[in-house]
Amino acid sequence: MRTDQVVVGLGSVTPEDVVRVARQGCGVRLAEDALAEIARSRDVVDELAEDDRPHYGISTGFGALATTHIPAERRTQLQRSLIRSHAAGSGPAVEREVVRALMLLRLATLATGRTGVRPGTATAYAAMLDAGLTPVVHEYGSLGCSGDLAPLSSIALALMGEGSVRDGTGVLRPAGEAMRASGIEPVELAEKEGLALVNGTDGMLGMLVLALADLDRLLTTADVAAAMSVEALLGTDAVFADDLHRLRPHPGQAASAANLRALLAGSGIMASHRGPECTRVQDAYSLRCAPQVHGAARDTAAHAAAVAGRELAAAVDNPVITLDGRVESNGNFHGAPVAYVLDFLAIAVADVAGMSERRTDRCLDPARSNGLPPFLADDPGVDSGHMIAQYTAAGIVSELKRLAVPASVDSIPSSAMQEDHVSMGWAAARKLRRALDGLARVLAIEIATAARALDLRAPLEPAAPTAAVRDAVRAAGVGGPGPDRHLAPEIETVVRLVDDGALLTATALDLH
């Protein structure tokens, strides 16, 4: 038995569990208490399957066909047909980490015993995930209501031994072949199991959990970038004083201001223009108001994390098997709670990136940079310095503003008007992932620009944490001031340092 496994039981999985399984390849297994509860609720389904009265998802069709009674001898075909028809996605395959997060979260719902699947079906689902088999899930197909239907159906299709998966080495293989090579027999679905495998918000929730992990790093990185720019532009740190931020007690703002104070402590550059003769009490908003904007984004993320926590504790299916043995239809598959916060986060991401780009631009403009050369160029006119790096940041920020337009306000009726209001939560999650990539790139350009500006302030010395970030950028192969050179590879290098958290580690601070 693998030792690096997340054990999925009756309780909810944690965000850390999702990241471990999705990004670190951690395996999974079902706990004994979960298997016992799964078996108990399956007895309810088996009993209802023998009943002459119709029960939705057990002895009827689905969606607009819910009033069509299906005789017992055709119900296996009903389940098979449901999955095949619903696995109707299109477009490029989504990322492996998204599929693994989706699978873990669906497994966690199966483990609650509220879905009515058989223990063997849940065990096979867990075995696929544990073996590193990743079904091909397409970009388009989910409206975020009745669950992420097409994405989840692609997983269920692979569980049946159909469709394609990538194995643990990334090789694309027929699902049945890959499953048998891993010692897993494809599953022939029984009553209720098709619905149980596809009726969930697991795709959008998985992407939300992963996005929150990214934002935890990126919003702290934004504080680092802002601190470097404040130094580079000879700004004042007086506006970050703790007592000033206690006057407006937003927790995110307080955390951001505390980070900026820690990052700028002991700065020789700040000391060089501090004192009675300093007139710098009203910096531009992109410097002065960084804690307010970064803090608002942090508080938005905290709200989204609260929603994610509640959703992680949910058992989303339709119908569900209640604790007292009833089989009840419901609307818990509607993705609105998750869709709203995914859209909210995209707004915050766009704003943080927009402020970052403004600080970059200020470093490059001799009319506003307090003595730095135009575009930080070595020989202005002959050299362009970071001029076009700012164009790149501006182009990304423009894209982020478009991505901030909410998906959750849209709804296109489906299933012959039975499903007449949908959440578009999957679409909200997909655009948020793109937005987070954009934020990382904009911050990387600001950090690369500010690092160059700090070098140009020599012999004045920056604070130890910001100097360490600059030095980490240099150690990674990004050169300091000098004649123009190919900038694109340098930007990508700093993007990698942002993405892997190396720049936060370089500060040697316990930033919040």
56 part of the active site: yes
Residue 103 to residue 135: CA distance in whole angstroms: 10
CB atoms within 10 A of CB 420: 12
Residue 241 to residue 219: CA distance in whole angstroms: 20
| 171: CB partners within 8 A, 6+ apart | none
69 DSSP β-pair partners: 60
Characterize the bridge pairing of strands 164-166 and 320-321.
unpaired
Q: If DSSP codes are grouped into helix, strand and coil, which group holds residue 403?
A: helix
Q: Tell me which of 56, 140, 285, 340 is the catalytic residue.
A: 56
Residue 47 to residue 50: CA distance in whole angstroms: 6
Is the separation of the CB atoms in 464 and 266 below 8 Å?
Answer: yes
Exposure of 418 in the CB half-sphere (CA atoms within 13 A): 10
Is the separation of the CB atoms in 315 and 115 below 8 Å?
Answer: yes
> Residue 179 CA to chain centroid, in angstroms?
29
Residue 465 to residue 104: CA distance in whole angstroms: 38
Residue 401 to residue 269: CA distance in whole angstroms: 34
Residue 402 to residue 400: CA distance in whole angstroms: 5
Q: Which of 472, 476, 453 shows the shortest CA–CA distance to 464?
A: 472
**Residue tagged 């022939």 (tokens):** 188
CB atoms within 10 A of CB 288: 17
The total number of residues written for the chain in this structure: 512
Residue 363 to residue 375: CA distance in whole angstroms: 7
Helix (H) or strand (E) holding 258: helix 251-264
Residue 221 to residue 207: CA distance in whole angstroms: 21
Residue 18 to residue 40: CA distance in whole angstroms: 27
- Strand 164-166's sheet: what is its strand order? 134-135, 164-166, 172-174
User: What single string gives the DSSP state of each residue in 354-402?
Assistant: HHHHHHHHHHH-TTTSSSPPGGG-SSBTTB-TTHHHHHHHHHHHHHHHH
Q: Cα–Cα distances in Å, from 271 out to 69, 180, 235, 368, 465?
A: 80, 68, 11, 20, 15
Q: Known catalytic residues?
A: 56
